[in-house]
Amino acid sequence: MQLTHLNTHGEANMVDVGDKHETRREAVASGRIVMHPETLQLLSDGALPKGDVLATARIAGIQAAKRTHELIPLCHALALSKVSVDFDVDHANGWVNVSALCRLNGRTGVEMEALTAVSVACLTLYDMCKAVDKEMRIEAVQLDSKRGGVRGDYQRAPTAAPIVTGEGATGEVRLGERSVSPCVRVKFLAELRERVGQSDVTIPLDKLPSRDVAGLKAALAERDTRFSVLSDQRALCAINQVMANDTSRITDEDEVAFFPPVTGG
């Protein structure tokens, strides 16, 4: 792995993207600002001295995304086709979640723009609320997903959320166990869960004959013949909650889910 912003002498340099193909690029970033419950209440009531906090922070985030190249030395100036900034006021946790999506058709990724939008939206929230709360904390600013470009898509592994199962009202939370050696966490949903007789299994990566979904199916079938149902054409698969197929690559700590065709609505 090499840092693309360093040249052969280890000096900072801007990457020449002239020969790259234009593709549709998209990035989603998020972060949050933690504050006192009373501050959060004032914010959602619109009772803070500086007025409509979220609308101001949204515009600040959008403006910041467009000016990222002025702030980050080696970033290219990009003609973004879309920027959106969204807020989720979470009274239970006492914070405001901020997420930003940036998109363009171009030759470079837009994750710096999305991260800048989140950062500046958080800073603006701080500025708008600091008269009543000096202990606010900005945290967990991170890239959530990225699409397009030669390095392929990126999706941050989801934080553990409960699966609603057929048993019990809405409960039955079971999460794949953590392991020290590289492994893949596999989930089975709905009818497939019932047919294989379990909801979660963790497989060491080195048990896979090939590091893709086909390799995972082979490793599972080796473990128990019930898993042969996964080779049925009706069995669908997602890696880190993005639809995948037999040739999709699997890496350490990936969450792979198998499920039947969907029947919602």
Cβ at position 150, least distance to another protein in Å? 23
Cβ at position 165, least distance to another protein in Å? 6
Cβ at position 161, least distance to another protein in Å? 4
Q: What is the binding site for another protein (CB under 8 A)? A: 58, 62, 82-84, 101, 158, 161-166, 169-170, 187, 189-191, 194, 238, 241-242, 257, 259-265
Cβ at position 197, least distance to another protein in Å? 15
Q: Give the C-alpha separation, 229 to 226, whole Å.
A: 6
Long-range contacts from 149-158, C-beta under 8 angstroms, 24+ separation:
149/23, 149/25, 149/109, 150/20, 153/242, 155/240, 155/241, 155/242, 156/240, 157/240, 157/253, 157/254, 157/255, 158/240, 158/241, 158/255
| Catalytic residue check, 127 | yes
In the bound state with another protein, the residue whose beta carbon lies nearer, of 39 and 240, is 240
* Contact between 113 and 68 (Cβ < 8 Å): yes
* Contact between 114 and 28 (Cβ < 8 Å): yes
- From the candidates 16, 86, 88, 127, which is the catalytic residue? 127
Q: How many beta carbons lie within 10 A of that of residue 200, not counting itself?
A: 16
Sheet holding 137-147, edge to edge: 82-90, 95-106, 23-34, 137-147, 154-155
In the bound state with another protein, the residue whose beta carbon lies nearer, of 126 and 259, is 259
Long-range contacts from 238-243, C-beta under 8 angstroms, 24+ separation:
239/213, 240/155, 240/156, 240/157, 240/158, 241/155, 241/158, 242/153, 242/155
Cβ at position 228, least distance to another protein in Å? 19
What residues are annotated to the active site?
127
